[in-house]
Chains A and B, each alone.
Chain A
Amino acid sequence: MKYKIKHSTTYQYSDFVTLCQNQARLTPKTNRGQICHSSRIDIVPPANYQQQFTDYFNNKVTVFEISTQYKTLNVTVTSEVELLVTAKKDLENLDMPWHKVRDLLATPNSKELLKTSEFILASPLTPIEEGIKDYALISFTAEEKLISACKDLMARIFHDFKYDPGFSTISTPLSVVFAQKRGVCQDFAHFALACLRSIGLAGRYVSGYIETLPPEGEEKLEGADATHAWFSVFLPSFGWVDFDPTNNVLPSEQHITLAVGRDFSDVSPLKGVVFGGGNSLLDVAVDMIRLE
């Protein structure tokens, strides 16, 4: 499956911005599950400085600066990504008891395990609050295998938590999300990560896109697709396995990965510092078009 993705972010300011400096993590990754064939970033007004580097988590980061005065900033990224079919069978064959995975990660003795062991620690946005471990252990019973336990955890989050876009913001702490059992995909991903990490498993946060299909008979609206977030768990000798607790599915044909990190703060698609500007309005539109 091949997609063309257009991701457009627009800021409107009440006052002139005299200078802004930004970092964008908007270039899709190339990994085992997908190939990013091309990606282009268009900035209006044009940036007078633009560079790219690879961060600690292997994400491509575009750094740009605009020093012309403006009231409207638009950043549009156009990418072509091919999703690869992963062998689901392997996954079942390689699944292993979760406590064995935990023990392996406790004493990392290879470069891969070492890099992975980073993800068993609580991160700024996924503090391991009281009660989280108990919640996790319901799925992760003594001899349970990792992947099937994760599927169970994902399903429980899907059923226990109510999807409520008005409920949370970036700064809503995880404890509130847990107590109220409400939130959005980002909260569910963070919560799942806290569960995994509370029992010594490695989980990472994935930011990306999801394709939405219009109700039958209706035409797809422009900009209706969305940025999305889910979590990924590490299975030794296989690698990272994605889970989408918002939709209770294992991402395969409709999820495109942008960046990975310990939590949202590592992968924020666009962040920056502005001088001036006053109040601002933000608008984001994503289109995913199937190419073949």
Chain B
Amino acid sequence: MNPKDQPTLLVMSYINNSISKPESSIYSPWSMRSLYHNYNAMSELPEWLSLYLNKSHTHDELVNHSGLKPVHWDALFNRLASLTTEDVSSRSVEISQLMQNGNVKPEKNQQCYFDPLPFMFSKSDWALIEKGVIQRTLLLNDIQQDIYGEQKLLIDGYINARKLYEDSNFLREGFSLPSDELKLFFTAVDLYRTQSGEFKVLKDHCQCPLGLGLLLKSRIIARRVMAEEFADCSVLQIKEFLTIFQDAINEYSRYMDDPRVVILTRGIDDPNYNEHAFLSTYFGYTLVQSADLTVREGEVCLKSLQGLGKINVILRWLPDRNIDSLEQTDYSLYGIPGLLQAVREGSVKVLNPFGSGVLSSPAIKRQLNKLSELLLNEPLLLSEPNSYDVEQASTLDWNTIELLSYQDPDFKLDAATQAEKIKNLIDTQPDNYYFQDKPELSTAPFWIDGKLVAKPVVFRCYVLTTEHGIEVLPSALCFSTKASNGAGVPGWIKDTWINTEKNTDFNNTTIPTRLRMDVSLLEGVISSRTAEHLFWFGRYLERSESTVRILRIFIDKYTESAIYSDAVRNSVVTRFTAAIKSQRIVYPYLENGVILNEGITATPKDMAFQLLADKQFPGSIINTLEYLCNTSKQIQELLSHDSRRMMDDINGQIQILKNLTTHISTRTMQSLLDRIIGSIMAFNGSITDCMPNSNGWFLLEIGRRIERSIQVSSLSSTLLTEEYEEAEELGVLEAVLSCQVSLVTHKRRYRMHQSIGTGLELLLLDAEYPRSLLFQLEQIDELCRHLPTKRRPGVISAHEKAILLSKTSCSITEKDYLQQSVDEKRQHLVEFCHNIRINLDTFCDVLLLQYFSHTQTAQKLNWTNIEQAQP
């Protein structure tokens, strides 16, 4: 049997069950209603679906637009028919969890729900769309070439020159760039379906088309949650498109030995930062911000740990109006001074090209029908809603139109409800506005609160212009917005499946991993900024872990002393309270402690609460965890999926800590601490496997070791320097060793005799004990070999000297020397720890200066004023 027939047969029988003579009915968008109704009568559809079909709809994709033989939907519902309402809901919950974990997680106000039902396009609908999108992209490319070149369309009056010149996206700098720098690369177009069933255009996205990350993400989740349906429905794969995407980029840099491609983002304050980071991980391109790049002698360079590295291709997710703060009139913090000169020189490719934002200008899009006839000699397949000049106002039906502005793309007034305002505007500034038919979006079913709800949908299709032609991504971001008619940010999204009506080869399904691995990607340059974040990330990780441990021991000790109060226990608690309060054993590890809120006597429990959840207390766990989470955002493109999930857990714990009050019980604090340390350990576990040194991960390890060195030396110098009665000393030592997870080792190793001296030997001087200071220093020394050398051969650099000094002092010092005391104070230990601390600080300063100092910001030169020399 022809394998092609198999699914078709299945579907046919399914339809034949439902209606008697499917072939005879004349096509009309309304015929499907009866079709599904009949089927419903057979009561084989699940209730959640039949309820939806029975509702009255204005024009719904499923009810009215699915065509005469909705094999594409049938294929889906064949599978889903067996699901109960509870089943669908549980899928919905699973999806929302997956969405969160993946970190394509918008801010609260941009919450985005991913629907458990995919959207199905029939083969024929998709063919129409694909053809239309290709045509439109060709047309836009032609127009872009003309308006930044010959301008024939303006001279001949096809495009109103004045309106175009007034558009802030018309960038005059574009004229001095080579013409092949004008070709579009990756664009998108928002489509909707009208009541009569045809597709129309809502909006073009020619600058930075958003949502590809969301689409990829939703496909990955859909493939996981709906694997069987996916296979059954013969869905077109998107993998090939993504391969072409990367091939096309590689083509721009094919003559280079080691091409470097970067994704340019505004930074973590960009609402779409998560998506940029996701794409960076997905494609394996370095994620950079403007400050990471600098132009030198006409070439764009990345400030990386290794120094300046030339960049070949920039995928900009940054609008072009403020991309070069030297050449462009508006000075922008996000600009890269000199970028346009580099483009002019042809040393870098910027995608999308400069100036393409103007293609969405009403001055152009209102003329596309005419321009298509003129430039392509064929009618436009996908057109915008009809538009009218304001002069026609009196001849129009105001119930069906809205007023739009030439200047402000977000401006929109509904003529039905805002008539007075509109009349006023078009009287005073008739040139600034035009009317357009209100788009009536079709609806599609979304799973909301346990049932299907009809919501208006927009389909965002993605297009790639390459040297070999135009490719359309065989899927779309099907979304519904919170705003009423389609503009704005996706609020609900669906994965969009295009039915191929043939068996899908299972081996050919999309695998959500990096698609290509070539040398340059593996080597992955990282910017100095990212390197610095990795270093701090390591420090915060270690700091949170250590602070949690200290707090746990502290709580243990004071609860114990409350039950078995004796001199030794009380003394341990007192000393720990003082050490925490003076911030000597917690961040900022002050050598000569400073007490916050002096005069207020805090009980040990108050102290514990402060250290846990008081934001006023610099070294508190809540503060450290927040630093940790913020830093993790900066490096999120380097984290694996699992690691990001762990960070989400930690984020959740921060939220809990935020809501704590001082009335919290000690027991609750303890269980919270257990959970926090559990997440941290799990996170540590998740990153150990994925730490290739070339990606700068060794910096995280350096940060961690530095922090640990500071901790152990400050613990020793704070709590072990005073000499007192042996039992008390041992009590404190025991607590210190517990904080360093070294109590058991110490007991085992020094079975016969334990003293402050043995404790210090283990914690500071033992080169083979993994938690000792010396061991950390040896590790740091080792890790520093990964840093690119910036010194002359034969000379030791400053940071290496600092570590060498500390190492040496650990190696040559004897435990008895440290233990000696004068006037009940171990002065040698104090000095030893002080010197270590100075060296560690020097090390960090040098690291900052030599490897991370990229943060110098540009300032505007005093532009010469023409008047400055005027007599």
Binding site for B on A (CB under 8 A): 9, 11, 18-23, 48-49, 51, 53-56, 63, 65, 67, 106-111, 114, 117-118, 120-121, 124, 165, 168-170, 184-186, 207, 212, 223-224, 226-229, 264-266, 268-277, 280, 282, 284-286
Q: When chains A and B are docked, how far (Å) is the Cα of A265 from the Cα of B858?
A: 19
Choose one: B157, B172, B864, B867; the contact of A185 (CB below 8 Å): B867
Q: Is the CB of A226 within 8 A of B871?
A: yes
Q: Is the CB of A55 within 8 A of B151?
A: no
- Given A65-B297, A121-B165, A109 and B155 contact (CB-CB distance below 8 Å): yes
Q: When chains A and B are docked, how far (Å) is the Cα of A18 from the Cα of B855?
A: 13
Shortest Cβ gap from B773 to chain A (Å): 38
Q: When chains A and B are docked, how far (Å) is the Cα of A121 from the Cα of B162?
A: 8
Q: Is the CB of A56 within 8 A of B337?
A: no
Q: Is the CB of A48 within 8 A of B165?
A: no
Asked if B173 is at the interface of the complex by the 8 Å CB criterion, the answer is: yes
Q: Is the CB of B161 within 8 A of A275?
A: no
Binding site for A on B (CB under 8 A): 151, 154-157, 161-162, 165-166, 172-173, 175-176, 294-298, 325-327, 329, 337-338, 341, 344-345, 856-871
Q: Is the CB of A185 within 8 A of B866?
A: yes
What 3 pairs between A and B have smallest CB-CB spacing?
Answer: A272-B861, A49-B297, A56-B172
Q: B residues within 8 A CB of A207?
A: 866
Q: Is the CB of A282 within 8 A of B862?
A: yes
Q: When chains A and B are docked, how far (Å) is the Cα of A106 from the Cα of B162?
A: 8
Shortest Cβ gap from B160 to chain A (Å): 10
Q: When chains A and B are docked, how far (Å) is the Cα of A63 from the Cα of B866?
A: 19
Q: A residues within 8 A CB of B298?
A: 49, 51
Q: Is the CB of A108 within 8 A of B337?
A: no
Q: When chains A and B are docked, how far (Å) is the Cα of A6 from the Cα of B155?
A: 41
Q: Is the CB of B861 within 8 A of A284?
A: no
- Given A109-B155, A284-B864, A273 and B859 contact (CB-CB distance below 8 Å): yes
Q: Is the CB of A185 within 8 A of B325?
A: no
Q: When chains A and B are docked, how far (Å) is the Cα of A228 from the Cα of B870?
A: 7
Shortest Cβ gap from B165 to chain A (Å): 5
Shortest Cβ gap from A236 to chain B (Å): 16
Shortest Cβ gap from B168 to chain A (Å): 10
Q: Is the CB of B151 within 8 A of A169?
A: no
Q: Is the CB of A268 within 8 A of B151?
A: no
Choose one: A18, A54, A227, A272; the contact of B326 (CB below 8 Å): A272
Q: A residues within 8 A CB of B341?
A: 51, 53, 63
Choose one: A108, A165, A268; the contact of B155 (CB below 8 Å): A108
Q: Is the CB of B176 within 8 A of A264?
A: no
Q: When chains A and B are docked, how far (Å) is the Cα of A149 from the Cα of B856?
A: 53
Q: A residues within 8 A CB of B161?
A: 108, 114, 117-118
Tell me the nearest residue of chain A to B344, going by C-beta: A53
Q: Is the CB of A227 within 8 A of B866?
A: yes
Q: A residues within 8 A CB of B865?
A: 169-170, 186
Which of B860, B864, B868 lies at the interface centre, i.e. has the most chain A CB atoms within 10 A of its CB?
B864
Shortest Cβ gap from A273 to chain B (Å): 4
Q: Is the CB of A165 within 8 A of B344?
A: no
Q: When chains A and B are docked, how far (Å) is the Cα of A20 from the Cα of B867?
A: 23
Between A and B, 11 residue pairs with Cβ closer than 8 Å are A21-B337, A51-B298, A65-B338, A109-B155, A114-B151, A114-B154, A121-B162, A170-B865, A268-B863, A274-B861, A275-B858
Q: A residues within 8 A CB of B151?
A: 111, 114
Q: A residues within 8 A CB of B326?
A: 21-23, 271-273
Tell me the nearest residue of chain A to B295, going by C-beta: A21
Q: B residues within 8 A CB of A275?
A: 856-859
Q: When chains A and B are docked, how far (Å) is the Cα of A169 from the Cα of B871?
A: 15
Which of A266, A272, A286 lies at the interface centre, i.e. has the most chain B CB atoms within 10 A of its CB?
A272
Q: B residues within 8 A CB of A229?
A: 866
Q: B residues within 8 A CB of A228?
A: 866, 870
Choose one: A9, A18, A111, A168; the contact of B864 (CB below 8 Å): A9
